[in-house]
């Protein structure tokens, strides 16, 4: 464990420095951890340490989050298509041939794009508030959907979602009283510090607006589930008021063999139920991908993602007039 504890690394992808955490022996099954808003790979810090004795873990920070590069909105296209390309190329750069995906929040539309494009690389799915169905949307999203329809008129209200009070709420809402003391206060403080950097709120507004295009490809995610039937573990906070429990239950329509656990938790369930989730994952992975046989690194070549270097693999993007 000490030899393969967490290492903090960067890789240059498309000219951008991408920060990632890595732990565990690289010859063991790989688990790729994709974080959500407004967090970073920091949200997986305890899970990484809990599983590194048996698995190889990679947790990147998306562009604009954590310690990864944060180019201005005038210099980089902040879209989920683009974040997917960067993530795919990072995995190719690291030579990760096959992997299990852990998707949370923003990590879901990124990870499920990858799974749909390269299904043979994905050994299993773990979703924690990783929405893929309209069933999961709660009233929290009303202002964001209004913003998608009329960006200029609704931006002042949407900016209120980028404040410390709302960030703290995301971490604490829905958490049972007897578990509130398990949430380290630096979690929401670090997330807020990231958004308070000059230019970052503009980045978050771009991604808020772009989220509407994820809904257009939800049917393709669901078709991927039906066609490829990846082994799936659902560990979802039943009190999550951002992506509601109905979003977890919807997975069972297309993945009836999925293993579902609705925990007495909120949106950031790892903060309060990390021990339970890590044990659920360990049991699930032992039964599905094994311990030492899947997820090996590519030893003799680098995998290449679809499309030429620098070429978008997504569809033509509609841009909101500025």
Catalytic residues: 267
DSSP class per residue in 41-54? GGGGHHHHHHHTTT
SS3 245: helix
The length of the chain is: 322
105's tokens: 């929040």
SS3 81: helix
Distances (CA, A) of 302 to 16, 43, 111, 193: 19, 29, 20, 36
62's tokens: 């998306």
User: What are all long-range contacts of 2-8, with beta carbons under 8 Å and residues at least 24 apart?
Assistant: 4/52, 5/49, 5/52, 6/45, 6/48, 6/49, 6/52, 8/67
95's tokens: 């030579």
Contact 183, 171 (CB under 8 A): yes
Rounded to an integer, what distance in angstroms lies between the CA atom of residue 105 and that of residue 128?
8
DSSP class per residue in 150-180? -HHHHHHHHHGGGSHHHHHHHHHTT--GGGG
Contact 180, 188 (CB under 8 A): no
């Amino acid at each position: 464990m000490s030899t393969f504890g967490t290492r903090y690394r960067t890789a240059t992808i498309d000219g951008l420095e991408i920060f990632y955490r890595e732990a565990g022996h690289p010859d063991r099954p790989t688990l790729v951890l994709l974080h959500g808003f407004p967090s970073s790979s920091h949200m997986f810090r305890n899970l990484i340490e809990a599983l590194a004795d048996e698995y190889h873990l990679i947790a990147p920070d998306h562009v604009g989050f954590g310690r990864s590069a944060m180019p201005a909105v005038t210099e980089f296209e902040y879209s989920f298509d683009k974040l997917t390309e960067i993530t795919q190329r990072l995995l190719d750069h690291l030579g990760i041939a096959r992997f299990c995906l852990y998707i949370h929040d923003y990590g879901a539309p990124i990870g499920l794009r990858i799974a749909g494009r390269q299904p043979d690389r994905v050994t299993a799915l773990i979703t924690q508030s990783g929405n893929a169905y309209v069933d999961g949307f709660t009233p929290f999203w009303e202002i964001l959907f209004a913003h998608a329809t009329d960006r200029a008129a609704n931006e002042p209200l949407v900016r209120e979602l980028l404040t410390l009070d709302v960030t703290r709420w995301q971490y604490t809402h829905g958490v049972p009283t007897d578990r509130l003391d398990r949430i380290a206060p630096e979690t929401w403080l670090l997330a807020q510090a990231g958004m308070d950097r000059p230019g970052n709120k503009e980045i978050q507004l771009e991604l808020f607006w772009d989220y509407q295009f994820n809904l257009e490809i939800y049917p393709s995610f669901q078709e991927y589930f039906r066609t490829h039937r990846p082994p799936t573990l659902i560990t979802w906070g039943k009190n999550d008021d951002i992506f509601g429990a109905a979003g977890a239950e919807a997975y069972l329509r297309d993945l009836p063999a999925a293993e579902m656990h609705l925990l007495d938790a909120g949106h950031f369930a790892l903060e309060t139920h990390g021990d339970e989730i890590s044990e659920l994952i360990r049991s699930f992975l032992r039964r599905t991908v094994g311990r030492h046989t899947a997820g090996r690194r590519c030893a003799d070549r680098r995998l290449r993602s679809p499309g030429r270097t620098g070429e978008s693999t997504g569809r033509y993007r509609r841009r909101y007039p500025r």
